[in-house]
């Protein structure tokens, strides 16, 4: 039994109430009391505080039966906004979400540099603009989370970003000092996994999300929390050696999984096969529809090596749900069937394998969701995709 002083119990009850209001979208006080097992008096007192703080609003529902119309409670979506940022090679993506998790604004800025000072200044300028834009609402920007395509320590120091060649940079500290607000950094694959868990897989305790773009990352939600490892560097699954003495990788090893099963490896192969013809997702989709033999072979090779790595991951973690985040798989016909044909092990166990429906937006979506969770101080966050 959990014990504690009155303020602690009140905080726990508040968190539980907010969690259920978010999860249901709209809920009455009576339903809230039943769902949380809290007394109606406790519900009434807590809701009164939340109404005063403008975090919750009341709505009258249409009601055709005899008796009082039920008054429904919902989170005040426009009371504040979360800012999610995806910092990746070649571009910075921004998304703003309201407190119910609906995206209300997006923007993408091309990056023509990898110099730390230049990107720091770009982030400062952009974040200041968002802080000013949403300053008039009750809570303004409630949180800022940045997705990093590289190693982020448990202290949120960027240890290494291969594509930028950044080593041990204190981006969080410098942003916070200049802006006067709290900024959080998180690995991009973790944020993608958080988006999948928050918006689509509410009942899932153990979820893995494999991101397959410029490299391969693994976001891990274990018992509703990130699994980061000792120093925060867990999930660099793309550097699992798949082919001994294979292709040289930037990490220093040879034969890493991402040299064979990332989308970058497919683009590199097709660029060589097509002798300089521009290779884009749109062009690959067209080639697939036309039955281009080289492209179909490249995709089959991609799926073959992808399947080997997935088999290893499943045997290590035994996940409930595994989500594959790949635009190429979304363009290909029946990719999951083909993946399963390569997985023959009798000891590989998982409940569900899916292809992400959010695509490259998953990182900023997860960043916004994490900012909302930290602001509302709820242990688990279940949102509806708006």
Give the CATH number, domain containing residue 16.
1.10.10.10
Instruction: Please say whether the beta carbons of 217 and 211 come within 8 A.
Output: yes
65-79, 248-262, 292-306, 353-367, range with the lowest pLDDT: 65-79
Does 240 lie in the same domain as 124?
no
200 located within any domain: no
pLDDT grade, residue 62 (50/70/90)?
low
219 in the same domain as 348: yes
Q: Give yes or no for residue 64 having a pLDDT over 60.
A: no
Nearest to 207 by CA among 356, 100, 336, 335: 356
One domain, residues 165 and 221: no
Q: What's the distance, CA 276 to chain centroid? A: 34
| Chain centroid, CA 44 distance in Å | 34
Mean pLDDT across the chain = 92
60 class by beta-carbon count within 10 Å (0-12 exposed, 13-18 middle, 19+ buried)? exposed
pLDDT digits (tens, 9 = 90+) for 362-383: 999 999 999 999 999 998 899 9
Output DSSP code: residue 381: -
From 58, 75, 92, the end of a domain falls on: 75
Claim to verify: residue 305 and residue 214 sit in the same structural domain: yes
My answer on whether 257 and 337 are in the same domain is yes
**238 and 286 fall within a common domain:** yes
Number of separate domains in the chain: 3
64 and 127 together in one domain: no
Domain end position, chosen among 75, 106, 133: 75
312 CB-near residues (< 8 Å, 6+ apart):
240
Range of the domain at 113: 78-193+362-376
- Give me the CATH number covering residue 182: 3.30.420.40
pTM to 2 decimal places: 0.91
- Asked if 159 and 227 sit in the same domain, the reply is no
Looking at 49, 75, 101, the residue that finishes a domain is 75
Residue 199 counted as domain residue: no
CB 193 within 8 A of CB 222: no
Same domain, yes or no: 63 and 95: no
């Amino acid at each position: 039994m959990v014990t504690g002083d009155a303020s602690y119990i009140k905080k726990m009850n508040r968190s539980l109430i907010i969690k259920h209001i978010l999860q249901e979208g709209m809920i009455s006080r009576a339903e809230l009391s039943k769902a949380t097992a809290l007394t109606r008096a406790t519900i009434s007192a807590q809701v009164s505080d939340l109404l005063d703080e403008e975090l919750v609003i009341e709505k009258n529902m249409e009601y055709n039966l005899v008796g009082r119309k039920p008054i429904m409670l919902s989170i005040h979506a426009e009371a504040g906004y979360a800012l999610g940022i995806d910092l990746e090679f070649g571009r910075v993506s921004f998304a703003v979400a309201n407190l119910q998790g609906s995206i209300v604004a997006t923007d993408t800025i091309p990056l023509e540099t990898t110099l730390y000072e230049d990107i720091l200044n770009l982030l400062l300028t952009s974040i200041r603009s968002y802080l000013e834009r949403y300053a008039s609402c009750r809570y303004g920007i409630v949180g800022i989370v940045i997705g990093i395509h590289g190693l982020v320590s448990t202290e949120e120091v960027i240890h290494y970003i291969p594509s930028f060649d950044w080593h041990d940079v204190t981006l969080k500290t410098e942003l916070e000092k200049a802006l006067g607000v709290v900024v959080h950094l998180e690995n991009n694959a973790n944020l993608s996994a958080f988006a999948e868990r928050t918006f689509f897989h509410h009942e899932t305790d153990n979820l893995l999300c494999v991101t397959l773009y410029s490299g391969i990352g693994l976001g891990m939600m274990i018992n509703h929390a990130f699994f980061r490892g000792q120093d925060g560097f867990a999930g660099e699954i793309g550097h699992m050696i798949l082919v001994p003495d294979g292709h040289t990788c930037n990490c220093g090893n040879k034969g890493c999984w991402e040299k064979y099963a990332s989308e970058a490896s497919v683009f590199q192969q097709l660029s060589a096969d097509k002798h300089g013809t521009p290779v884009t997702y749109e062009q690959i989709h067209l080639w697939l529809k036309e039955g281009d033999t080289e492209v179909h072979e490249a995709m089959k090779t991609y799926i073959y090596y992808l399947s080997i790595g997935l088999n290893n991951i499943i045997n290590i973690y035994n996940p409930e749900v595994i989500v594959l985040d790949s635009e190429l798989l979304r363009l290909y016909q029946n990719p999951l069937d083909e993946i399963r044909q390569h997985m023959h092990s009798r000891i590989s166990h998982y409940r569900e394998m899916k292809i992400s429906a959010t695509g490259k937006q998953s990182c900023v979506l997860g960043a916004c969701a994490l900012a909302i969770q930290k602001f509302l101080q709820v242990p688990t966050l279940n949102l509806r995709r708006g």
